Chain A
Amino acid sequence: GAVVSQHPSWVICKSGTSVKIECRSLDFQATTMFWYRQFPKQSLMLMATSNEGSKATYEQGVEKDKFLINHASLTLSTLTVTSAHPEDSSFYICSARDSAGANTGELFFGEGSRLTVL
């Protein structure tokens, strides 16, 4: 199946700093990618839909100025957590569908990025 890669897989930062997470589709093009956040023992929560060449669409309650999303190419979307605080510590996961693939609903997920803010 298609491969989605995230980097870094884990990051530790100081409170107040910004952290960038990359999501790449390695063998397919994705005009749209999705960013999820998962707290311990909870389900994945959709944060935003990343659209290539245009602004991201954020879910209710997710601050767009806090979580900056850039989808500059058909294979790369980035999520920047700005001025991170301990409450932003979480597992961030991206996903994508093959833009040229069948419309069957399968999402391909990255390995996730564990952010810990001290």
Chain B
Amino acid sequence: LAKTTQPISMDSYEGQEVNITCSHNNIATNDYITWYQQFPSQGPRFIIQGYKTKVTNEVASLFIPADRKSSTLSLPRVSLSDTAVYYCLVGYGGATNKLIFGTGTLLAVQP
């Protein structure tokens, strides 16, 4: 199972773009990279997923370099409600394959 490393915390202000980087040096060929958001006392919520290059959806972008040993979650124009813990997970999605959570990054957005 690929181990991930993220900054423990980040601070930002409303309206700024936030980039959270995750290192996953031992990512396997079949592994996807998935980011989740978690608010206190709630289950994690899917944000975005990618395999290589760049992926964009309505809430975020995910940048993955060619060697796939890291990835960057980009949140455009954050708001106070984006204050949460963000987790980066890597793994192959076979139904029985488990995913292990790292420490996550606590993003604190200030007015």
- B and A form one assembly: yes
Residue ranges of A at the interface with B (Cβ–Cβ < 8 Å): 1, 4, 6, 30-32, 34, 36, 43-46, 49, 51, 91, 93, 95, 97-99, 102-112, 114
Is B87 a contact of A105 with CB atoms below 8 Å?
Answer: no
Q: Is B89 on the interface with A (CB-CB < 8 A)?
A: yes
> Which of B18-26, B41-49, B75-83 participates in binding chain A?
B41-49
Nearest-neighbour CB distance to chain B for A67, whole angstroms, equals 16
Query: Given A105-B49, A109-B45, A110-B43, A97 and B93 touching (CB < 8 A)?
Result: yes
A31, A46, A111: which contacts B98 (Cβ < 8 A)?
A46
A46 to B44, CA, bound (A): 13
Residue of A nearest to B100 (CB): A46
Question: Which residues from 1 to 51 on chain B have a C-beta closer than 8 Å to any C-beta of chain A?
Answer: 31-32, 34, 36, 41-46, 49
B12: shortest Cβ distance to chain A, in Å? 20
B46 to chain A, nearest CB (A): 6
Nearest-CB distance from B51 to chain A (Å)?
8
- Contact residues in B for A106 (Cβ distance below 8 Å): 32, 34, 46, 49, 93
Q: Does B66 count as interface, using CB distance less than 8 angstroms? A: no
A51 touches B43 (CB 8 A): no
Give the most central of B34, B44, B49, B100: most A CB within 10 Å.
B44
Taking A30-B95, A104-B49, A105-B49 as contacts, is the C-beta distance between A114 and B41 under 8 angstroms?
yes
* CB of A16 to closest CB in B, whole Å: 25
Chain B residue with the shortest CB-CB distance to A51: B96
A4 and chain B: residue at smallest CB distance: B43
Residues of B within 8 A of A91 (CB): 41
Given A43-B101, A97-B95, 8 new contacts (CB under 8 A): A49-B98, A97-B93, A103-B92, A106-B49, A106-B93, A107-B34, A109-B36, A114-B41
- 11 sample A-B contacts, Cβ–Cβ < 8 Å, listed by A number: A1-B46, A32-B96, A43-B87, A45-B101, A104-B32, A105-B31, A105-B49, A105-B90, A105-B91, A107-B34, A114-B41
